[in-house]
Chain A
Amino acid sequence: MRYNEKELRALSRQPAEMAAELGMRGPKKGSVVKRRLVKLVVNFLFYFRTDEAEPLGALLLERCRVSQEEPSAFSISFLEDPERKYHFECCGQEQCQAWVEALRRASYEYMRKSLIFYRNEIQKMTGKDPLEQFGISEEARFQLTGTPVDGWSCIGSRLDALD
């Protein structure tokens, strides 16, 4: 799968939600902890060698599970292979908790669910759809089922009944 690496590198230079030097250990057996500059930008977690400007790698944070492993250590794994974990060591419990919280909210899917939740709540309380004023109430990304408006079925998506 090709991807736009140049743009992803540019993204890694954008202002981060969270950035810190952490101990990082890859998922492979026998991998050792290395100091890395870890940077959370939108739904990507970039990691750098501490003295380099270009990222070593990136993790897309969709469908991931963030687990607290120890008071000051957490791991990230992905739904399709939950035992394959990226380990991170923090300098304390507070830092660890802050990262765990931030990472759990860092996915586009989490934001989508939040938005649908708020939309429904506002609709229940006021009787009005808050997205109508922006003219985006029909956008697929804001629907509960997420089926695209143009009627095409998409790969793997639930084929919930369309109107």
Chain B
Amino acid sequence: MSLAAEHSSSSDDIAASLDAVLDTASDASTDPDEVIEEEEESYVGDEGYYDSDPERPKRRKVELSKGLTNLQRSLSQGEPVDLSGGSSPKKIMCPHPGVYAGMCVKCGQKVDEETGVPFGYIHKNLRLADDEVARLRDRDLKNLLRHRKLYLVLDLDHTLLNSSQLADITVEEGYLHDKRDALPDTLKSSLFRFDWMHMMTKLRPFVHTFLKEASNLLEMYIYTMGERPYALAMAKLLDPGDIYFNSRIIAQGDCTIRHQKGLDVVLGQESAVLILDDTEAVWGKHRENLILMERYHFFASSCKHFGFNCKSLSELRSDESETDGQLATVLKVLQRVHSLFFDEGSKDNLEDRDVRQVLKTIRKEVLRDCKIVFTRVFPTNFPAEHHHLWKMAEQLGATCSTELDASVTHVVSMDAGTDKSRWAVQEKKFLVHPRWIEASNYLWQKQSEENFPVTQAKSK
């Protein structure tokens, strides 16, 4: 074998290469080509040294791969293996799967192009090529499915917590400034003050239990439109042991498209990712993975920001219910999705299943068997099928129609005085406010129709 003959030449190569590298004290950034060639020769030469002891399995593997690269070289060059001139094909073949601080993570070469996706939340200098991201996603999916877990992307503001600038705290909320001991018990463990950021944060009720239960079923990411220091501070509140999120906190600076959140920076297959967010608009391309949450308005500034004129939870000195609130409901939905996804009875391969299909199926059960007619809800001359309430009702499994007939079960109206509304009362059908559809959407359950009565509109 030619390997034995290379033994003596490789030792000289190593000495020469070390000399060359140490002597270039005058220029740190030596010609990368030159150094790479020398390094690759000594690299390969090292392995050639030890072929006298074939027992170690690791070395055998290395020899095998070396044999393969030799084969590749001889195939590409059409001549017997020659170390001294043969390093260029090996360089070209490195696919540069990732770039760390300007260097390829596999071969160490300088890579200047800005291709691929930046993963700034893991390390500020890390970029990964698209192929590599796809490969990692595949591998990670197999790993997670083996552990029976899916991915969950969580938003922070108005979903898991509510923050307010200290300057926006109203007079009625002044009691929140009191010393920790003076606060009521429920607030002691969920209200936090950050003087260095000039803000106060209130965690949503049930959030700690939610995170604990969800972490058994899902690998979690934080994805917020806030800045990185804010995201890290909130993560420390939610996850003091750093077990839920680890290095998976994505902030505004990591989004690839401005003002849009995307799953491109999440290392998980889209068919296994669930998103929990209160805003639909930022998830342009991934609406099907989204579970929309009702916004959490604790502070008065938050209510005002969204245009509500009512008193906020802090001013009313009350809070969302712990066991019955939005987070508890969503947790049940997540558990349901998880059990349906990992259903033993299904015939598909785990990798072929799609969590979006499961979500659609569950959604369709909410208003199953309902036939809805809308009246005085859409503006005139507006094509009814394009209205978001119509679409929402259809997603929830109801059938919508514009004409009244015997099979109609619900009439949705803003005004109890219209013909259709009166027909509903006459025929003993349910007459409900559009809020009924929205509430069913947020709570994933058909709501009781009595809670959404329609009042007579004021006559002009």
Pairing of A with B: no
